[in-house]
Structure 1
Amino acid sequence: MRLTTTMFLSLDGVVQGPGAPDEDPRGGFTQGGWVFPHADEDFGELVAGWFAAADAFLLGRRTYEIFAGYWPRVTDPADPIAGRLNALPKYVASHTLREAEWAGSTVLSGDLAAEVAALRQRPGGELQIHGSSELVRSLMAHDLIDEYRLLFFPVVLGNGRRLFTEGSTPTALRLTGTATTASGVVLHTYEAAGRPTYGSFGSPE
């Protein structure tokens, strides 16, 4: 399976609390729910299309708990997101979670890089990460992510947790696609392309 990650970011790189005001108040963050005003039909079609391509999900503990508190209560199997999340295997990266009660969930508590590498070797289409920024950074360090879907929302938040923090692994990305929604969300799709290369414009003679 290919490992893909889908992340919602403000223009200044914040990924904290996109879905609801009380979703993730760590550090006194009070601006949760910033995605909602931009969730138009175009946005919904993008997200539904990705979920349709999933064969399994890989989530960090915090994102798993947020999802597990909401999506099992959406019981319509035709729902493009709930139908996939509730039916497909879910793997949770956590050293503190002992049991995962959401049906189809397995806790990965050993060597994360090795366990995810093994999952990638299984047959199928996509193993999808949604949210889970700390997990994404950890897997970047091991070159395990095949595709990045980064959705930039037209808002500057000024504070909050960011995806690419100080100390993130230097990574080169190759742009493979772009899309724009009517509400101004811009999607960039990238493939991993190894490490960055460097050069210099030099000084004029």
Structure 2
Amino acid sequence: MAQLSITTFVTLDGVMQAPGGPNEDTSDGFDLGGWSVPYGDDDFGRFMNEVFERAGAFLLGRRTYEIFAGYWPKVTDPADPIASPLNTLPKYVASTTLDKADWEGTTVIGGDLVKEVTAIKERTDGELQIHGSSRLAQSLMQHDLIDTLNLLVFPVVLGKGRRLFAEGAVPTAFRHAASRTTGAGVAIHTYELEGRPQYGTYELDESA
């Protein structure tokens, strides 16, 4: 059974929208795309290669799927550490609007998302990986289906844009499993799902 992970880029204020370019995602009038690009050094590349080495299959939202499908099939070098797994491993795109997906090895899933993703996890070896796909990730986190978060935190504040942890997210506790910092200043943190948060207080017990 696969572990379901998400690897995503976020700013210091939690924005994850359009990290890769100004035209990547302009929904809701977002005009600050491409904010991750200046930080793409060798350390960043090594971490991403390590992530893709663990992949057994990919689960993507419609918008991320369209971005990936427009680029990665054109990278035909079988030794490319990212293109090779993306082009050869099973891919699932969660969408209620797509009828079919042209990228080879892609299956469109809809309907009962929780049931379908649970079934995919059960029949996949390695990691079932989400990249980007904010709305899909938010839906799955509502049901504790994401086991691992790889958050790449960029030293940028944007002040607007879609966030991974939006208002109304289910209170959830994670265990900090690993961290590193790239030469360009990207803080990479890995978190494992723990369950519900615990609560306490720093107030003095005046009854003691």
TM-score, length basis structure 2: 0.96
Please give the alpha-carbon distance, in whole angstroms, between the structure 1 residues aligned to 2:170 and 2:139.
Answer: 9
Q: Which secondary structure state, in structure 2, belongs to the residue aligned with residue 118 of structure 1?
A: helix
Alignment CA distance shift 1:123-1:88 (3 Å): closer
Alpha-carbon offset, residue 203 of structure 1: 2.6
Q: How does 1:131-142 map to 2 (within 5 A)?
A: 131-142=132-143
TM-score, length basis structure 1: 0.98
Please give the alpha-carbon distance, in whole angstroms, between the structure 1 residues aligned to 2:63 and 2:23.
Answer: 13
Matching residue of 1:90: 91
Q: How does 1:11-90 map to 2 (within 5 A)?
A: 11-90=12-91
Long gaps (5+) in structure 2: none
Matching residue of 1:181: 182
1:166-194 CA-partner distances (Å, limit 9, x unpaired): 01111111100001000000011000010
Please give the alpha-carbon distance, in whole angstroms, between the structure 2 residues aligned to 1:58 and 1:46.
Answer: 19
Long gaps (5+) in structure 1: none
Aligned residue-pair number = 205
Please give the alpha-carbon distance, in whole angstroms, between the structure 1 residues aligned to 2:107 and 2:124.
Answer: 18
Task: Answer whether contact 1:137 1:169 (CA < 8 A) is retained.
Answer: no
Please give the alpha-carbon distance, in whole angstroms, between the structure 1 residues aligned to 2:78 and 2:85.
Answer: 8
Task: Answer whether contact 2:56 2:124 (CA < 8 A) is retained.
Answer: no
1:92 maps to amino acid: V
- Cα-Cα RMSD: 0.9
**Structure 1, 110-119 or 36-45: larger mean CA deviation:** 110-119
Task: Answer whether contact 2:57 2:124 (CA < 8 A) is retained.
Answer: no
Percent identity over the alignment? 61
Alpha-carbon offset, residue 202 of structure 1: 2.0
Alpha-carbon offset, residue 199 of structure 1: 1.3
Alpha-carbon offset, residue 201 of structure 1: 1.5
